[in-house]
Amino acid sequence: RTGARVERLPLSRFTTLGVGGEAEVWFAETHEQLREAMEQPYRILGGGSNLVIADEGVPERVIRLSGALAERDLTPDPHLSEDPWVVTGWVGGGVPLPGLIRQLQKLGLSGLEGTVGIPAQVGGAVWMNAGTRYGEMFDGLHTLEIVTPEGTRQVTPDDLNWGYRDSGIPRNHIVTRVRLKLRRAAPEEVLAKMDFADQARKGQPKMKTPGCAFKNPGGVSAGKLIDEAGLKGSRVGNALIAPEHANFIVNLGGATAADVHALLGLIRDRVPVPMELEYELWP
C-alpha cells in the first residue's frame, strides 16, 4: 500500500451543483498513490464544476488529485523561457484554477486571464479546454503530463487534436500536471483583461450550478436557443432553468440528479437545433 487516504464520502460535497451520492474517494498525493488508485475501475474528479452525479453515487473509485499533485511551481524555466515568453515549472492538475489566475496576474504573466471565473481545477479545465470567448486553457499550455494505467507520457498541444471545449485527451487519461507558456505583461494590463472577460459573467446566475448545460452549436448561444424555446424559469423538483441565462440549470436547494436530467430532456425535446451536452453525467 502506498498510504493514499481513502474515504467513503458524499460526492455532493465536491460538486458546484451540490448533487451526488457516495463513492470511495481516493486522495492521490503522489504519482505512486495515483498508480495504486488506478489499479481498479476509476473516475477522476476535478473541481466538480461540470458534473451531474447520480443520487446513488458511482461504483468506481473516485480519484482526487491532492498533495504534490496540487502544488505549483511558477518559477520561469531558464532553459525554456525566452523573453517575452515564460515557461513555468510544473503546475499540478489538482490546483484550483481561480487562485492560479489571480496569482499569474500579480506576477505579470499573460495568456490565461480569459478563463477568469471558471471554478475548475487545472486538470479538469485542461481536459475539456475550458474557456470563454476571451480565451481558453490551450492558449497557455507548453507541456502536459498524462497518466494512464499503462504509464506516464508528456505531450505538447501540437500532439493533440484540441478545439472548442475539447482537449482531444481520452476520458480517464489523467492530466497530472502541466507547464504553462505565458507572456510577460504589466500586471495592470492583465487585470484589465480579466475585468473585461468577467463582465460577460454579469448575466450568469449566482446559485449552485455546474455551468452551461450545452455547448454552443456552431457558435450560436445555446442559452439563446433555450430562451427562444420559452424554457426560462422551467422547474422540475428543485432544479430550475435560470431566469438569468437559459443554459444554466440551478439547484434551488435539495435538487436531485433526476430533476436535472428531466430538465435536460425537456430542453432536448423543445429546442429544434441538435445540441451537444457540455456537462458530464455520472454514471
Tell which positions 133-192 bind ligand EPU, by CB under 6 A. Answer: 133
Of positions 26, 211, 226, 245, contacts ligand FAD by CB under 6 A: 211
- Cell 489538482 belongs to 94
From 61-69, 97-105, 180-188, 221-229, span contacting ligand EPU (CB under 6 A): 221-229
Q: Tell me which long-range contacts 161-168 makes (C-beta under 8 A, separation of at least 24).
A: 162/129, 162/138, 163/129, 164/129, 164/131, 164/136, 164/215, 164/216, 165/128, 165/129, 165/130, 165/131, 165/215, 165/278, 166/128, 166/129, 167/126, 167/127, 167/128, 167/129, 167/137, 167/138
Q: Which is nearer to ligand FAD, 76 or 214 (CB)?
A: 214
Q: Is 125 in the site for ligand FAD (CB under 6 A)?
A: yes
Residues 42-61: x where in contact with ligand FAD by CB under 6 A, - otherwise, as a string: -xxxxxxxxx----------
Among ligand FAD, ligand EPU, none, residue 216 binds (CB under 5-8 Å by kind): ligand EPU
Q: Look up residue 267 and give its DSSP letter.
A: H
Among 19, 141, 223, 282, binds ligand EPU (CB under 6 A): 223
Q: What cell was used for 280?
A: 458530464
**Distance in Å, CB of 84 to ligand FAD, minimum:** 27
Q: Which residue has the cell 464544476?
A: 49
Cα distance between residue 147 and residue 36, in whole Å: 12
Instruction: Give the active site residue among 29, 36, 113, 278.
Output: 278
Residue 38 touching ligand FAD (CB under 6 A): no
| Residue closer to ligand EPU, measured from CB, 65 or 212 | 212
From the candidates 35, 71, 102, 165, give the one annotated as an active-site residue. Answer: 165
Cell of 245: 441565462
Please state whether beta strands 85-92 and 51-53 pair in parallel, antiparallel, or not at all (unpaired): unpaired
Strand-pair category, 280-282 with 51-53:
parallel
Residue from 112, 118, 255, 257 that binds ligand FAD (CB under 6 A)? 118
C-alpha to C-alpha distance for 156 and 86, rounded to whole angstroms: 16
Residue from 11, 95, 104, 175 touching ligand FAD (CB under 6 A): that is 175
Grid coordinates standing for 71? 502544488
Single residue of 174, 180, 226, 241 touching ligand FAD by CB under 6 A: 174
Choose among ligand FAD, ligand EPU, none what residue 247 binds, the Cβ cut-off being 5 to 8 Å by kind.
Answer: ligand EPU
Task: Enter the C-alpha cell of residue 268.
Answer: 432536448
Considering only the stretches 92-100, 119-127, 143-151, 220-228, report the one whose residues sit in contact with ligand EPU under the rule CB under 6 A.
Answer: 220-228
The alpha helices in 11-130, defined as continuous H runs, are 31-37, 97-107, 122-127
278 included as an active-site residue: yes
Query: Are 11 and 22 spatial neighbours (Cβ–Cβ below 8 Å)?
Result: yes
Q: Write out the residues near ligand EPU by the rule CB under 6 A.
A: 132-133, 200, 203, 211-212, 215-216, 221-224, 227, 245-247, 278
Question: What is the binding site for ligand FAD (CB under 6 A)?
Answer: 16, 43-51, 65, 93, 118-121, 123-125, 127-128, 130-132, 165, 171, 174-175, 209-211, 280
